[in-house]
Structure 1
C-alpha cells in the first residue's frame, strides 16, 4: 500500500489538469512535479472548447492535438484524458465536439504510441433514450479513432449530484465493442444518422432521474423502467446496423 492519500497505489491514475487553452497554473505544475518524482501513473486532463478562444472545428482540433502532446512533454503524462466540449451546450456529444475528438485522436494514434482517453458529458440525464444515444455516438467516435480509454458517463453535463448510473457506462462499453473493426466510411454514415436523432432536442433535453430514482439502491440493479429504456436504445442502434446484441 502506498503512502498516497486514500490508500492509492502507484498504478492508479493520479490526475492533474491543464487549463483552457494551452495554459496551466502554478498549483498544477507543483502537483505534476510531485507526481513525476513519485513515479506514479499520471493522467493529465484537458478539455478544449469548441467555439471558444480556439475558434471552429479545424482550430480546436489543432489545439486538442497540441494540448495532448503537451501533457506528455511538459507534465510527463502516462496517458491523456481529452474531452472537447461545446461552448454553447457544455457537452462532449455534439456533432462538432465529436468531430474535434475524432480527428485529433486519429492524428495522434497514426503517428505516436501515446495512450489516449476521452470523457463523456451528455446533455440528457440517466434513464432516457437521448442520454444513451449521446453516449453511443461518442463511444463510436472514440473507438474508431483509436482511443484506448473511455471515461464516462457524466450525464446531465456532469453538474448534478447522483445524476449517473452504471447503465450509461455499460452502454458505452457495449457500443464500443459493437463498432470495433468497422469500416470508417460505414461508421461515418451511422454517426450522421445517430447524431441527427438527438441534436434537434438540445433545448428540450430530458433531465432524467437520479441514481436512487432509476436504481434499487440496496440491490444495486436498475429499475424495470430503465431496462426498458435501455432496450429501446439497443433497438435503435440495431436498426442502424450494429449486430452486437443479436
Structure 2
C-alpha cells in the first residue's frame, strides 16, 4: 500500500509510485497478482476525493496492456449501520471496478480501528455494487455516480460515525442484519438505482 502524504507525497506522486511499484514487482517477482492500493495518510482510507482519483488513475495505467491481475482493497473510515459506510463502499468499489481491478478485497469498516465493528451486510453490498458496476458502467457513468455520492460523506471524514458493533447491528440468533441496518441498505440501493446503477440480483 502507498500513502498520499507518505514517501511519495501528493496524489500525483502516489500514482507514480503505484505504477513504479507494479513495474518493479513484475520485473523482479513475476507475480500473477499485484496490489498497490493508495490510501490517504490523513484518514487511512481510499474513499476520499484525492485517493479515489489516485487509485483509479493508477489502476487504469497499471491495467493497460498488462498481463498481471491488479488487486484492489476497500478501506472505509465509518462504521456499520451507517449510510456513510455504504456511500464510501460505493465510491471506491465503482472506481476500482471500472478502472480495471481484477480482484477486490472486501470492506474495512472504521479502518479496522475497533473490535467487532464489521458485519456481513456491507460486504454483501460491496459485492453487489462491484458486480453491477463491472457489468453496467462505463468510466463516464461511474464518474457521475461517484461525483453524486462523494458529497454525501466527504465532510465527515475527519469525524466519521463509529456506527454499531456486530452484536448491535446483527441478530445473533439468525445472523441476519437488524431492521435498521437493512433499511439503510435499501435506502442507499434506491439512491444508486436512481443514479443509474442497476441493482445486482
Matched residues in 1 for 2:36 and 2:174: separation? 34
- SS of structure 1 residue aligned to 2:6: coil
Runs of 4+ in structure 1 deviating by more than 4 angstroms, as ranges, are none
Task: Give unmatched runs, 5+ long, in structure 1.
Answer: 1-46
User: How far is the alpha carbon of 1:237 from its aligned partner?
Assistant: 1.3
Structure with more of its chain in helix, by fraction? 2
Q: 2:112 aligns with which of 138, 158, 162?
A: 158
CA RMSD of aligned residues (A): 1.6
- SS of structure 2 residue aligned to 1:204: coil
- What TM-score, normalized by structure 1, do the two folds share? 0.76
- In structure 2, the CA distance between the partners of 1:218 and 1:105, relative to structure 1 (3 Å rule), is same
User: How far is the alpha carbon of 1:139 from its aligned partner?
Assistant: 0.7
* Cross-structure match for 1:199: 154
- SS of structure 2 residue aligned to 1:74: helix
User: How far is the alpha carbon of 1:92 from its aligned partner?
Assistant: 1.3
User: How far is the alpha carbon of 1:178 from its aligned partner?
Assistant: 2.2
Ranked by relative contact order (alpha carbons within 8 Å, sequence separation 6 or more), the top structure is: 2
Matched residues in 2 for 1:185 and 1:103: separation? 14
Q: Higher Cα Rg: structure 1 or 2? A: 1
1:85-132 Cα shifts (integer Å, max 9, x gaps): 111111111111111111111112112121111111111101110000
Task: Give unmatched runs, 5+ long, in structure 2.
Answer: none
- What TM-score, normalized by structure 2, do the two folds share? 0.92
Matched residues in 1 for 2:58 and 2:137: separation? 19
